[in-house]
Amino acid sequence: MIIGGARVAKFKRPAIEADLAEEAKLQSRYTALLASAKIEIEGQIVNLSGIAPFAQSLDRDVRYRAARAQWGFYQANAAEFDEIFDALVKLRDGMAKKLGFENFVELGYRRMRRIDYNAADVARYRAQVLEHVTPLVSKIMEARRVANGWDKIFAWDEPLTDPQGNPKPAGGEDFLVAQAQKMFDDMDTGLADFYRLMNEGGFLDLTNRPTKAPGGFCTSFSNTGMPYIFANFNGTHHDITVFTHEMGHAFQNYASRNQPSFDYLWPTYESAEIHSMSLEALAYPHIGKLVGEDSAERYRRMHLIESLTFLPYGVLVDHFQHEIYANPGATPAERHEMWRRLELLYLPHTDYGDLAFPAKGGYWQSQHHIYSSPFYYIDYTLALCCALQFWVKSRQNYAGAVADYVALCGRGGSAAFQALVASAGLISPFAEGALAAVVKDAEAVLA
């Protein structure tokens, strides 16, 4: 994800100034609550980032215990999570009403600076995901069940994408940081030079530490003219995904530094996620440098499967938020019911077994965007449709696809989403059939 400082400023009005301060306080309370997690697993105490290696262990029992321990933390703090979110919803709804909107949905879109599509376009896109991707993901999960010889596939089995064990980075942080230079050297000279600046300048904070806030993001310091990457390496393939993702954001920001307006340094989020997610895909041919050549093909397959399985989850998070802000008077219990109903629609294959908290509709409490960046989520799914198009192109003409990517990064936020997409020779995800076409290509490669 990216965190851009100037974004909310346009919607500051004296009438809601105190509300914005209160909103920031509640968001910090949520982050602090997540960062406070001390979860016991296999005789160790880990935080929410540190649980990931256990959650995707090859040992099914370890995965189950990791899931139980993780949800135990959310269960133990359920009342506080609900209280923070309830306050956020009421605050946001109140701000919308003070500014003359019916509810927070339209204000949420304005805060995301969306100007060339609306909630109806997004609803149509969600329907496309439901039609073309949900059945495919259910099929992928069923194939995984068969490959592993399981009776049923449970929620704690879903993180084990590769039946042999998800390929891991071939070394620790120092290894990855050094190998990434070799990878970027082979991809593009501009990317390679930029990465050297980031690394030598100390603009990477990648290590997971106790009480460090979870997640990964990229932001920028206008006084240095350099971006900055925050991550929580935990030894899983996620380190590579997060690192290539945030490097995409960082490179775009740097490549746009000569744009004529400060506001062009970052594009809107759905465009920004094209830069990050496409770099994850453009790294495929060189990924052996990070995971080891023996595991490269398995990594590519795993990443592609995880991209496809992400799409229905991503639109679920978006659909849920539309319902939340259209019904600001709902109780916490009703919100959990809303999530569960939508989850059954988009992810019908997910079975929580005896994990009572997510089984009753609590999963969303772990999705920090819902608290911290309302309506920032469909962006990933729109961008993924574009990133998959870059991936398809890169298989036909790698150098051409990278050149188009680098040029797109340099255009920063100088145009709205669909114009930027068109400028890179990509088809808008809102265009009829765009999503179905890339999903079909991905499915063919996985077959």
Residues at the interface with Zn ion (CB under 5 A)? 1, 276
Shortest Å distance, C-beta 245 to Zn ion: 6
Cβ proximity to Zn ion, 27 vs 138, nearer residue:
27
Shortest Å distance, C-beta 274 to Zn ion: 10
DSSP letter at 185? H
Shortest Å distance, C-beta 129 to Zn ion: 19
Cβ proximity to Zn ion, 256 vs 276, nearer residue:
276
Shortest Å distance, C-beta 41 to Zn ion: 28
Cβ proximity to Zn ion, 3 vs 170, nearer residue:
3
Cβ proximity to Zn ion, 56 vs 252, nearer residue:
252
The residue among 366, 332, 323, 365 whose CA lies nearest residue 104 is: 323
Shortest Å distance, C-beta 218 to Zn ion: 7
Rounded Cα distance, 274 and 271, in Å: 5
Cβ proximity to Zn ion, 268 vs 276, nearer residue:
276
Rounded Cα distance, 412 and 390, in Å: 17
Structure tokens at 223: 């006084």
Shortest Å distance, C-beta 180 to Zn ion: 17
Beta carbons of 413 and 259 less than 8 angstroms apart: yes
Amino acid, res. 283: A
Q: Which residues 6+ apart lie within 8 Å of 21 measured at CB?
A: none
Beta carbons of 113 and 268 less than 8 angstroms apart: yes
Rounded Cα distance, 342 and 361, in Å: 9
What residues form DSSP beta bridges with 221? 226
Q: Which residues 6+ apart lie within 8 Å of 189 measured at CB?
A: none
Cβ proximity to Zn ion, 16 vs 277, nearer residue:
277
Residue 155: other Cβ atoms inside 10 A: 20
Rounded Cα distance, 91 and 87, in Å: 6
Cβ proximity to Zn ion, 233 vs 357, nearer residue:
233
Residue 180: half-sphere exposure toward Cβ, Cα within 13 Å: 29
Cβ proximity to Zn ion, 276 vs 295, nearer residue:
276
Beta carbons of 374 and 321 less than 8 angstroms apart: yes
Residue 229: other Cβ atoms inside 10 A: 20
Structure tokens at 55: 């959650």
Shortest Å distance, C-beta 131 to Zn ion: 26
Question: Which residue in this structure is represented by tokens 């306050």?
Answer: 87
Shortest Å distance, C-beta 374 to Zn ion: 16
Shortest Å distance, C-beta 279 to Zn ion: 10
Rounded Cα distance, 171 and 183, in Å: 15
Rounded Cα distance, 387 and 132, in Å: 17
What residues form DSSP beta bridges with 204? 229
SS3 category, 231: strand
Shortest Å distance, C-beta 215 to Zn ion: 10
Cβ proximity to Zn ion, 276 vs 418, nearer residue:
276
Cβ proximity to Zn ion, 271 vs 321, nearer residue:
271
Shortest Å distance, C-beta 217 to Zn ion: 7
Cβ proximity to Zn ion, 64 vs 371, nearer residue:
371
Locate all alpha helices (DSSP H) within 12-77, ordered by sequence. 17-35, 52-55, 60-76
